[in-house]
A and B are shown apart, each in its own frame.
Chain A
Amino acid sequence: MEITLTVNGRAQALELDPRTTLLDALRDHLQLTGTKKGCDHGQCGACTILLNGRRINACLTLAAMHEADEIATIEGLAPPDDPGALQAAFLHHDGFQCGYCTPGQIVSATGMLEEARAGWPSHVSPNLEAEVALDRSEVAERMSGNLCRCAAYTGIVEAILETAEQERDVEPREAAE
């Protein structure tokens, strides 16, 4: 079937078997191999992409279901020679070892920081209606869908926390409200 996917702002027409997952479409048909295939059934998070800004597992959805959607992959976040704040923080804090889970971690963390900004509570948030204050346990809970078999979690959490703090410093909340 013919499908047009909009990935990282570019619409591209593809001829795909209906059973092609979004992950396979990205990797095998659009050659966007930054999104990784780990478990291929929704447990590891290596294939995390942003769908209309929300993080999802690309392995658990069909390309055919996303003609109308904006898809963002790791390639769309920042160019390799000019890494974004989160990517720079992963480098600085050694947020990886083998690197296979890293694109998924970074895309997931991008979506997660947006969720926190939007005030979405997590399972460990003490008050569901208060502003989200990210700490170690909040980040660990919110990133629970991304596994790192090298166990670089310490660096991953530090990188995300540092990025969250930088954002807070750049855009101070209006405390006077």
Chain B
Amino acid sequence: MLYSVDQFPTVMASTKPSRTSTARSAEARPALRLADALIYLGMGILFGIILVKSEVVSWFRIQEMFRFQAIHMYGIIGSAVVVAGASVALLRRMGATTIRGEPISISDKPFDRGLNQLAGGTVFGLGWGLLGACPGPIYALVGAGITPVAVALLSAMAGAWAYGHLKPYLPH
């Protein structure tokens, strides 16, 4: 199940009801709480704004990256990795929990021979170079008014669908 849900680090917050709230948790655990939905929506909005304002969504900036002609994209991804890595390390050291007191744990992703990462990554890179947008920017570009990218979004969904059906026949 872990493998099928997703392959990047699966973060599991314990869903066990606490000892004192078994009765309440049975009904107070809907598929989605409104407060959570607002957090997801708000963070998505912020992410979209950042991607457009920093020009990560720009086909030109992706070309600049693949031609190694500016620090811009490397600086963004690199500093994001450093900040994310330091923050997660700090959370682990502090033994931090979510705001609801659920434990935060990041399990390592399943790793077989790495063939799917290499082959899939290369296929992804080909698409990234042609389209000039990875999945986050695809959504943001549609919102930014580059409406033909909606076709790319449908194509990307078709690609995910095709992978789902071809998975048993592909090397992993």
A binds B: no
B residues in contact (CB < 8 Å) with A:
none
